[in-house]
Amino acid sequence: MLYRTLGRTGIKVSPYCLGAMMFGKMANADHDACTRIIHKALDFGINFVDTADRYSDGESETIVGRALKGRRDHVVLATKFTGPMGQDPNQQGASRRWIVKAVEGSLRRLGTDHIDLYQVHRMPADTDVEEILSTLTDLMRAGKIRAFGTSTVPASDIVEAQHVAERRGLARFRTEQPPYSILNRAIEREVLPTCQRYGMGVMAWSPLAKGMLTGKYRKGERTPDSLRARVFPKAMSDESSLDAVEQLIPLAESVDMSLMHMALAFVVSHPALTAAIIGPRTEEQLDGLLSGATVRLSDDVLNRIDEIVPPGVDVAPLEGAAYAPPAISNSLLRRRNLDERAAA
């Protein structure tokens, strides 16, 4: 396994990061089976594991924590916060009040005294970035976390956070976790260059475009009955995505590899990328993913991919999973109130 440096933290991680979203009641409730998946990944050489407190309401963290007993010191452990963890409106978000409580919950479920990478799952619009940075800096100084980062934020927020950290003498975000795949390349325009400018590590989620790049979803064929298809019905039947897939499959076959392996190799070939997050639900899926770990793409193949899906373009819909800025998600920010419109 050839390890990479996580941004400028000095931490060495594998180019595949084991994502734990599928562990727990949401997808695989068999704790023993999930543990076997984790152990097999570690035995292969993966030393990077990513989860979140909200995955199966904390069950994923519990599974990961139990599986890492006796092996914790050899794993770079990442988790995330901000998602709702109860009915109370203050059991979510990124206020100092919640972050301090959320990290204790994650530490307890993970069975560890520190988290290597603690990430803001989604940047809330109602919390000042200085509040977030100061709290995370305090947690780092207390030894509860080693570094912190973000997930799925626009380049403008990354720049603002870096400037605030510098002005206030706070620790800064060291990583970003965006969606990135052959079918979702919009972050190549601004997010990836911005991360490179600030020396941030980048871990891509959904490198297989929610499964569209596994080769199971084909144009003119019935959509397989899968968890992804049930959760993201529009994405898994999107015509533009299927058109691209039908062009990508023969390209992969022409260089004697599967579409899935070509898709993963594409993601980790970008110089800004530290790791691709793989999220297997079963051991069989993990085996399939790992079998392509040594695949490398030539410039000719990368050029052909650029012709099918141009750089900086999103072909596949992210269907609610990507960042939506407040000006888009909140209609009140786009409309004058009735009194103002009447007076205009």
Q: What is the DSSP string of 191-247?
A: HHHHHHHTT-EEEEB-TTGGGGGGS---TTSPPP--HHHHH-TTGGG-HHHHHHHHH
Which tokens hold the place of 110?
């993970």
Q: Is 108:61 a contact under the CB 8 Å cutoff?
A: no
Cα separation, 301 vs 251, whole angstroms:
8
Cα separation, 96 vs 289, whole angstroms:
39
Examine the residue annotation and report whether 55 is marked as an active-site residue of this protein: yes
Q: What is the C-alpha radius of gyration for the chain, rounded to an integer number of angstroms?
A: 20
Q: Is 252:182 a contact under the CB 8 Å cutoff?
A: no
Catalytic residue among 55, 118, 180, 323, which? Answer: 55
Give the residue among 277, 210, 284, 280 at the shortest CA–CA distance from 245: 210
Give the residue among 207, 166, 214, 157 at the shortest CA–CA distance from 185: 207
Give the residue among 173, 171, 117 at the shortest CA–CA distance from 144: 117
The catalytic residues are 55
